[in-house]
Amino acid sequence: MLVALAAVVASAQSDKFNRPMDSVAAGQADQNEGARILADFHRAGIAGDYWLSFELHVMPRQGAERTVSGTMLGMRGASGPLSRLSVADQHWLIESGPQPEAWIARATGEITPAAAGQTVAGTGLTIFDLQMPFLYWRDFVYEGLAKVRGRPTHSFILRPPPGYVPPQPGLTGVRVLLDVQFQAMVQAELLGAKGVAEKSIVLLDLKKVGEQWLMKTIDVRDLRSRDKTRLTVTAAALSLTLPVETFAPGNLRATPPAIPPEKIVRF
């Protein structure tokens, strides 16, 4: 997820996405051009291995708010982005791409596969949200250009493959909006049986670290319950060289490599 939301071109001019959608796509678009746009997007990403520190602020419609802290190590694997996530006392290994997988290290010491619908530390963020497998679904419709918060975006609807069992019952597709200039996903809407958005992932802010623009803040909203989880990146270390074995499922309980303090940029 963070790669898809964070990896943007170095020539970006603005770091705010704080205005509502103000126009929708016309629906008459070149599908071959859409395929090219998606292929370019798949090739984009954070340059090199990286470390992030973040907070998850849980904001239910009813009940007390809470905040949990976490860290993430990331690199690009052979099939897609790899992320090693530590939140509270939970440790996850998440593989994105066309064949996503995930594992969790349990308190018993056992390392087991994790289901896409599992939540991270009881927040509104799920493994599915982090994997974003819909970005690799082959059945898509390119709707054309739309404006989101005042910026031009490419609008797509992507449909799950035959036989796919969605983590969210009734999921029929995902509308994805890719910023034209930033080459980043600025919004995703999980669509229900009637094509109505039931959950959204929205990019709010970016932060420049060196020559790389990174996602700073995103909101994950359940549009039915109106519960929200806000993910805020608080520090980053880029251009790292992490051992490949760091991202082996069997090493999930091992202590991750230390991050050189001089590499860390705090926001």
Which residues are registered as beta bridge partners of 209?
A: 212
- Confidence check: pLDDT of 205 > 60: yes
* Average pLDDT rounded to a whole number, residues 159-185: 90
Question: CB 132: neighbour CB atoms within 10 A?
Answer: 23
* Average pLDDT rounded to a whole number, residues 227-234: 97
Band the pLDDT of 244: cuts 50, 70, 90: very high
Q: Report yes or no: 169 and 151 within 8 Å, Cβ to Cβ.
A: no
β-strands 81-87, 90-95 pairing = antiparallel
* Average pLDDT rounded to a whole number, residues 15-27: 49
Q: Tens digit of pLDDT for each residue in 36-89?
A: 999 888 877 677 899 999 999 999 999 999 999 999 999 988 888 999 999 988
Q: Kindly list the domain boundaries of the chain, sorted by start residue.
A: 2-266
Tokens of 109: 């010491």
* Average pLDDT rounded to a whole number, residues 230-256: 95
Q: Which residue has the higher pLDDT, 14 or 177?
A: 177
Give CA–CA dist 94/74, Å, rounded: 10
Contacts 24+ apart (CB under 8 A), 163-167: 167/115, 167/116, 167/117, 167/126, 167/127, 167/128
Q: Report yes or no: 232 and 54 within 8 Å, Cβ to Cβ.
A: yes
The whole-number pLDDT of residue 26 equals: 59
The whole-number pLDDT of residue 1 equals: 57
The whole-number pLDDT of residue 14 equals: 39
The whole-number pLDDT of residue 184 equals: 84
- Confidence check: pLDDT of 202 > 70: yes
- Confidence check: pLDDT of 104 > 90: yes
Give CA–CA dist 141/159, Å, rounded: 9
For 124, residues 6+ apart whose C-beta sits below 8 A from its C-beta are 58, 220, 221, 222, 227, 228, 229
| Least confident span in 8-12, 83-87, 127-131, 172-176 | 8-12
* DSSP for 228-252, written as a single string: EEEEEEEEEEEEE---GGGG-GGGT
Give CA–CA dist 14/57, Å, rounded: 25
Band the pLDDT of 2: cuts 50, 70, 90: low
CATH classification (class only), 2-266: mainly beta
Separation of first and last alpha carbons in the chain: 20
- Confidence check: pLDDT of 28 > 80: no
